Structure 1
Amino acid sequence: MSSLEGSPEPGQDDQNYDDWYIDDSQEPTVPPHEIILPCFPTLSDGLYHLILASVSLCTLLFLCFLIRRQKLCTSFCWGVPGVLSPLNLLEGSGNNWVPCAAFGLLFSSIFRMLLDPTALNFIPYSDGAHKEFWKILALFYYPALYYPLLASYSVQRIPGYIVGTILSWMHCGALIWQKVECPQTPQFYSYYSLLATVPQICCLILLSIIYPTLLLQKLRQPSHSKQMSERNYYLKYLKKLLRRKASKTSKDSVSIGSQVSLNLCSYLCSSNIGFRLSQRSLMAATVSVLSAYQVALLLLVGFLPTVKKIRSSIDAEFILMLAGFGVPVDEDKAKAVDYIVYYIWTVEVCYIAAMVLSCAVTVTMLLRSLVKHRWALQSLCAGKVTQVFLKPRSLHPSPPALASWMSHISYQAAVTCIGLILQHVILFLVHLIVTFLIIIPIAYGKFQIVLPILERTWPFWLLLLLVTIVQHLSTRFIFLQGSPWQTTNRRVLFLFTYIFLPVNILRGGLLAIARLVISLTFNVIHFCRLDLSLLQHSVQSWDPGYRNYCNFLLLEVTECHPLVTAFCLLLKPPCWKKPDLEEGIHLMPADGRSAKGARSHLARARWGLAYTLIHNPSLVSHRGSRTINGGSPPCSK
């Protein structure tokens, strides 16, 4: 009876149970100031791509009919109009800003499309089951959209420059208009879309400036001015090789500061400005820098806003929760909150510092790869094959070389992205270890982990240090004697070897750890460099990145040899000069004698032919054993 009286009434129990599910007004999980309302710009994504895709198609058709295929390839389709080649990437001459900006624009668009879920909003039903299929189609849509920006430059005429100016202005104006109206988006971070679009805007602004500049230069200068500048570059390079080097009799005294700055400058930028870098390598470096920016931005917006929210939500209830899990906390709850907030802020600082350092290392390695690439190109052009590849190798184009040349820019960008992520992870862990195990324990007395371990194991470390010192001193003063050093006291040497065997095993363990750390650090730092193999010389061919770079280098040398180009320019007179004018006379010293007569013309022509054939690296494997200077070309001196 008492149990029945103590039990709650059925109606009261139901009332309490129903109170749990009363639909009261719930507060939003996100603070009101962080809620980003959907934005609908005046120029929507669908209208933006509809207009620009139509204009790009019309531009391409106009350029195709402006320059007929008959001038490019007479035997194909009877010379009917066709699609223009975007650029002569093997020539290595002309304006390098246009292809660099176009390739950077294309890469930034593809990177945004792959990561930003709103990049395909202009395609109906792009968020359904066929989303990945639409992304695959977008991989070919964006190259077609930006293709006329390159084709306008390849025309090399006033209409092409006018079309390129109008098209670049339309792209740039439409993109800036969209971002000004809707700078914030709810994906990743409120301003991620705006920050990710900055490289596209910069490339479009660059194109919007270059095309009007080229148009003005074309209107002011004669039509053959550009050909003269390109011709002069190759002829000047040939003159530089033929000019005798002045002997250096005295050396000026250089201060230590200037010597250090000179070494740093020579490490990051080559001092040999007479040899031009290939256009393909500059494009690869540009795309790699933009890829590093996109990856760094993604790492920052994916980590820092989340950690900031966690730091702002730390309160006394969080401290009680930690105490409930058995984590020792301070009795003063406010002080404990300040400690945890400070530690989380320290993690943020370590993350940002690691990001800045990894970006600096990546850019430094890319600049160093350009210096190494210029040196490799010039060495191969001079016939020094063994200095570049460390073994004899024929310089002939092949299908793997051509395939590697086509994919080199993409591979370099992808390797740079992965290398930056690896560098950031490693550097972030190093910063955390140094901060929480060394700096904070010494400064605040917290996280005492390393010091207690050192207090318990200091005899072990002292033993290793003493044994190391004894071995080095004994080898220096006891076991090696004489003017040329000779091994003496061999009985004591054998005794020391036997006695120190257990201690040296422990030292070998430390050596193995040091070897692992050094190898990991070296490979992570140089991961983004394809011109440097991460494997030893005997198995360098197993490194796919280095093999891709070697094939790319072979094709660059065989197709862009400056001496061969200079020889062809000497044989083929320019269109603005008379055909019978001899250009080789400008390469000879001005001694005041007349250079007339058929015999002197014939001698100079034969000399130019022989000189070019000697310096052609593709003919090295076909020569005999007796060549000039014992097999090395004259220009290698």
Structure 2
Amino acid sequence: MSSLQGSPEPGQDDLLYDDWYIDDPQEPTVPAHEIILPCFPTLSDGLYHLILAPVSLCTLLLLSFLVRRRKLCTSFCWGIPGVLSPLNLLEGSGNNWVPCAAFGLLFSSICRMLLDPSALNFLPNSDGSPKELWKILALFYYPALYYPLLASHSVQNIPGYIAGTILSWMHCGALIWQKAECPQTTQFYRYYSLLSTVPQICCLLLLSGIYPTLLLQKIRQPSHSKQMSERNYYVKYLKSFLRRKASKTSKDSQVSLHLCSYLCPPKTGFHLSQRSLLAVTVSVLSAYQVALLLLAGFLPTVQKIRSSIDAEFILMLAGFGVTVDEDKKKAVDYIVYYIWAVEVCYIAALVLSCAVTITMLLRSLVKHRWALQSLCAGQVSQVFLKPRSLHPSPAALASWMSHISYQAAVTCIGLILQHVVLFLAHLVITFLIIIPIAYGKFKIILHILEKTWPYWLLLFLATVVQHLCTRFVFLQGSPRQTTNRRSLFLFTYLFLPVNILRGGLLSIARLVVSIIFNVIHFCRLDLSLLQHSVQGWDPGYRNYCNFLLLEVNECHPLVIAFCLLLKPPSWKKPDLEEGIHLMPADGRLLKGARSHLARARWGLAYSLIHNPSLVSHRASSTINGGSLPRSK
């Protein structure tokens, strides 16, 4: 018996320890309702691209032969067909829905390709290192795939609208078919792939409705209706600018106008540029993609952890010296409630950060419109602190080309920073203020206040005493003057140590305010996060300033209106004989023609004088000894 009860032979312990886990599962079991079977849609990604890529290429070639380059450049390649321009990004009017939908579709496709590893499964050798190379090539493939959707709109004729309608219907139908057959995937969350595709479907639905509408309008209306609308916009803006008068409004209307104009620019005849609308559209879609990724990457995992809390988890916490409650059932309820509170804080912070981001983007539109109006009126000092030339430069053109992409990237990073800061703030408020009051747990702040209350009382009394003395003792008289200087110097000396403690509190408050302000306004490129003297060190603000300079130089509405007045419409040919017949035989001007001519000359002089791009070309600032009127 003693031999049997003695120590086991060498190697026998290992066999015994191995036998402990023979019957245990080697891998964690997954509930049956969480198992997602692989899905293979009828229209796979490979077949989708194999069909639509040649169709897009053929459409582009067809449209290029319909519009010859002779209309764009007479001396280049003898006017043979060439690559179509996607759209005129420098025009101030026109249909903005098609470019916004096309840019949003392209950005959503790129986000889905970068975040979804199964987006390139139709390519050969997509596993391993070549997969990253395929993603780099896909960054140029998707713009080429959706390029005909923009080119169809730029043609502005019936075949172009027909091609755009067919292409948008094919893309939209194929994408909806795929997601209807396979809505669930195993990435992050079972419906993440479907939710990330919602912006693509919405943009394609918008294009599928706009192109038939444009086709019907083209059939019903004459060909020069669009040119007339653009011409009327610039001419009306010129008239409203020249006849502008200060209108007296009541205080109530002024308050409501300021509240409405904070996020929505008032309609006073000045249109926003197309590039700014595209930047805000792509930024909103980028905020949606980032918010969806943050929500799908965190919430399902926390919900699984909350559902797996039991008495064994409480025993494990007790092994680390953490005691929630003596009753195990109450302890489990407390832990589950705390995790639920974390989920609520996370969702609330995400919703609030999305609302703040969208608010800042809308506010940037209002600020951009104000900056454009100020620069068009020659008020450069109101927009820039230092005098700047409004002539385009290589840096301005490069910034103009990359502004939309920069705005989307900055919005993504800004949303993440806002969410982190707001999530930490919600956790502090919930676990250090609300839960201690409701359940008596986590009384950290109460313990700190019990030990440091004399310090806070001293700071409060010192602040009150200094403010009362400065108000009633050290400043007296109808024009406020410093009096009792001997007492003032004595108080300054006595309160020096206390003010050092107040300075520590002030430094913490300054840090918190700076972080909150910079994080909230991080997604706005039109607002510098640095002080005025070093604003040039902010790359985002410098990009916006260069973008703004090119917008003003190329899209000045008064200059365009002046050019349209000089140039007759394309559907009207100038008739010289009609103008000759209107002149009397003696060559004198008709009655009222002299005042009309004077008003026209004054309007021309006013437009030329207030054109910012012509300021540097003026020979002198005086005419016949008088001063030349400057921009106000």
Q: TM-score, normalised by structure 1?
A: 0.93
Matched, 1:490 2:485: yes
Return the alpha-carbon distance in structure 2 between the equivalents of residues 630 and 337 of structure 1. Answer: 82
Deviations 1:155-210 (A, max 9, x none): 01000000000000000000000000000000111000000000000000000000
Are 1:567 and 1:608, in contact at CA under 8 Å, matched by a contact in 2?
A: no
Return the alpha-carbon distance in structure 2 between the equivalents of residues 13 and 481 of structure 1. Answer: 92
Cα offset for 1:15?
A: 7.4
Counterparts in 2 of 1:398 and 1:246: CA distance versus 1, 3 Å: closer
Amino acid at match of 1:384: Q
Cα offset for 1:404?
A: 0.2
1:146-295 matches, within 5 Å, as 146-245=146-245, 248=248, 251-252=249-250, 254=252, 261-295=256-290
Counterparts in 2 of 1:24 and 1:632: CA distance versus 1, 3 Å: same
Amino acid at match of 1:224: H
Are 1:168 and 1:207, in contact at CA under 8 Å, matched by a contact in 2?
A: yes
Cα offset for 1:622?
A: 3.3
Cα offset for 1:610?
A: 2.3
Counterparts in 2 of 1:405 and 1:14: CA distance versus 1, 3 Å: closer
Counterparts in 2 of 1:466 and 1:598: CA distance versus 1, 3 Å: closer
Amino acid at match of 2:83: V
Are 1:419 and 1:528, in contact at CA under 8 Å, matched by a contact in 2?
A: yes
Cα offset for 1:244?
A: 4.9
Deviations 1:102-132 (A, max 9, x none): 0000001111111110111121111222111
1:492-571 matches, within 5 Å, as 492-571=487-566
Return the alpha-carbon distance in structure 1 between the equivalents of residues 27 and 450 of structure 2. Answer: 54
Cα offset for 1:12?
A: 8.8
Q: Which runs of 5+ in 1 are unaligned?
A: 585-592
Are 1:183 and 1:194, in contact at CA under 8 Å, matched by a contact in 2?
A: yes
Cα offset for 1:78?
A: 2.2
Deviations 1:331-390 (A, max 9, x none): 211110000000000000000000010000000000000000000001100000000012
Cα offset for 1:612?
A: 2.6
Aligned residues: 621
Superposed structure 1 runs of 4+ greater than 2 Å apart: 1-29, 251-254, 258-264, 575-578, 593-612, 621-633
Cα offset for 1:453?
A: 1.0
Cα offset for 1:457?
A: 1.1
1:387-426 matches, within 5 Å, as 387-426=382-421
Deviations 1:83-106 (A, max 9, x none): 101001011221000000000000
1:339 counterpart residue number:
334
1:447 counterpart residue number:
442
Return the alpha-carbon distance in structure 1 between the equivalents of residues 395 and 426 of structure 2. Answer: 42
- Tell me the SS of whatever aligns to 1:119: helix
Determine which of 471, 478, 486 is the counterpart of 2:473: 478
Return the alpha-carbon distance in structure 2 between the equivalents of residues 546 and 10 of structure 1. Answer: 73
Matched, 1:612 2:607: yes
Deviations 1:249-300 (A, max 9, x none): xx5463xxx7665432111112243100000000000000000000000000
Cα offset for 1:246?
A: 5.7
Return the alpha-carbon distance in structure 2 between the equivalents of residues 93 and 595 of structure 1. Answer: 37
Amino acid at match of 1:190: R
1:382 counterpart residue number:
377
Return the alpha-carbon distance in structure 2 between the equivalents of residues 198 and 37 of structure 1. Answer: 22
Deviations 1:516-553 (A, max 9, x none): 11111110000000000001111001000000000000
Determine which of 605, 618, 632 is the counterpart of 2:630: 632
Return the alpha-carbon distance in structure 2 between the equivalents of residues 178 and 54 of structure 1. Answer: 20
Counterparts in 2 of 1:304 and 1:136: CA distance versus 1, 3 Å: same
- Tell me the SS of whatever aligns to 2:117: coil
Counterparts in 2 of 1:198 and 1:595: CA distance versus 1, 3 Å: farther
Counterparts in 2 of 1:594 and 1:331: CA distance versus 1, 3 Å: farther
Matched, 1:310 2:312: no
Return the alpha-carbon distance in structure 2 between the equivalents of residues 11 and 615 of structure 1. Answer: 96
Deviations 1:3-43 (A, max 9, x none): 46645589997975674575887675322211111100000
Amino acid at match of 1:234: Y
Are 2:364 and 2:524, in contact at CA under 8 Å, matched by a contact in 1?
A: yes
1:51 counterpart residue number:
51
Matched, 1:77 2:77: yes
Are 1:319 and 1:333, in contact at CA under 8 Å, matched by a contact in 2?
A: yes
1:588 counterpart residue number:
none
Are 1:437 and 1:447, in contact at CA under 8 Å, matched by a contact in 2?
A: yes
Return the alpha-carbon distance in structure 2 between the equivalents of residues 343 and 244 of structure 1. Answer: 61
Matched, 1:352 2:347: yes
- Tell me the SS of whatever aligns to 1:546: helix
Return the alpha-carbon distance in structure 2 between the equivalents of residues 61 and 520 of structure 1. Answer: 53
How much is the aligned-residue C-alpha RMSD, in angstroms? 2.5
- Tell me the SS of whatever aligns to 1:374: helix
Return the alpha-carbon distance in structure 1 between the equivalents of residues 484 and 289 of structure 2. Answer: 64
Cα offset for 1:219?
A: 0.2
Are 1:573 and 1:581, in contact at CA under 8 Å, matched by a contact in 2?
A: no
Are 2:224 and 2:571, in contact at CA under 8 Å, matched by a contact in 1?
A: yes
- Tell me the SS of whatever aligns to 2:392: coil
Return the alpha-carbon distance in structure 1 between the equivalents of residues 109 and 126 of structure 2. Answer: 17
Counterparts in 2 of 1:291 and 1:13: CA distance versus 1, 3 Å: closer
Are 2:302 and 2:343, in contact at CA under 8 Å, matched by a contact in 1?
A: yes
Deviations 1:580-633 (A, max 9, x none): 499x9xxxxxxxx98689978876664454233112111123333448987533
Counterparts in 2 of 1:312 and 1:5: CA distance versus 1, 3 Å: closer
Cα offset for 1:329?
A: 2.6
* Greater displacement, 539-548 / 324-333: 324-333
Counterparts in 2 of 1:9 and 1:398: CA distance versus 1, 3 Å: closer
Counterparts in 2 of 1:389 and 1:27: CA distance versus 1, 3 Å: closer
Are 2:621 and 2:627, in contact at CA under 8 Å, matched by a contact in 1?
A: no
Counterparts in 2 of 1:557 and 1:5: CA distance versus 1, 3 Å: closer
Amino acid at match of 1:555: L
Amino acid at match of 1:525: I
Amino acid at match of 2:280: A
Amino acid at match of 1:522: F
Cα offset for 1:81?
A: 1.1
Return the alpha-carbon distance in structure 1 between the equivalents of residues 404 and 82 of structure 2. Answer: 26
Cα offset for 1:576?
A: 2.6
Return the alpha-carbon distance in structure 1 between the equivalents of residues 23 and 326 of structure 2. Answer: 39
2:36 counterpart residue number:
36
Return the alpha-carbon distance in structure 1 between the equivalents of residues 4 and 109 of structure 2. Answer: 74
- Tell me the SS of whatever aligns to 1:214: helix
Are 2:278 and 2:404, in contact at CA under 8 Å, matched by a contact in 1?
A: yes
Cα offset for 1:478?
A: 1.0
Counterparts in 2 of 1:8 and 1:630: CA distance versus 1, 3 Å: same
Return the alpha-carbon distance in structure 2 between the equivalents of residues 362 and 372 of structure 1. Answer: 15
Are 2:68 and 2:82, in contact at CA under 8 Å, matched by a contact in 1?
A: yes
Are 1:104 and 1:200, in contact at CA under 8 Å, matched by a contact in 2?
A: yes
